Every structure is written in C-alpha cells, then in structure tokens.
Amino acid sequence: MSLVQTMRELADKLAQCSQAGSGAELTPQFVDVALAALRAHADALGPPKIKRTRPQYQIEAMDSQGWPDETLAVVTNGVIAQAAFEEAAKLHPGRKIRLRHGARLIAET
C-alpha cells in the first residue's frame, strides 16, 4: 500500500471514529504515518528551529506494546544512524529498538 493510500485510510478511520463519537485504536504503522504528517504540517506552518535539508534518522525504543516510548537519537547521517541503532540494541537488549528515516522504517530489533 502506498503512503498516500495509507494516509487516506487513516484519515477515513479517524473521521468515522469522530463522527461516531468514539476513540480510535491505531496500529503502530498508523501512528508513525500520523506523526510524520503532523511533523510535516508543523514544519510548513513556521520555520523549524533547526534547518533540515533532508529527513532525519530517528532511533526509538519501543514499549511492551510496540509503541514508541523514547527517542534515543536523532541524526542526519545514515552511517552514524546505523551505528547508533546497533549500539542502542546492545545497550537495551530487552527492548525493541527501531531505526526510522522520516516515516520509513529502516531496521528493528
């Protein structure tokens, strides 16, 4: 499924839940897409605090349910991001660690 299709599906699901007056249970993938869309929208509203010339890599620790719990690192260099991901996996052997580039999942323990 393309990113555009995923975003439309997410928007439709949220609209249905809003109209029904109920909460929405989102998959981690939908949460990642929603966060990426919100970040992009926020960046478009005003100048970012740090000028970004390309999407950043994020290394995140996940909670027991697979949700992002803690951002361990944010870098712009892919080689450094991979090294940080590998080191985070060693430092947190009992936790799932995720490496993302923008909204795209690169690696996961």
Give the residue from 30, 25, 28, 39 showing the smallest Cα distance to 1. Answer: 30
Q: Which tens digits make up the pLDDT trace of 21-42?
A: 788 787 877 777 777 777 777 6
Give me the residues of the chain with pLDDT under 70, please.
Answer: 1, 3-4, 42-54
Calculate Rg over the CA atoms of the chain. 16
**What's the predicted TM-score (pTM) here?**
0.53
Check residue 15 and give its pLDDT. Answer: 77
Element (H, E) at 100: strand 97-101
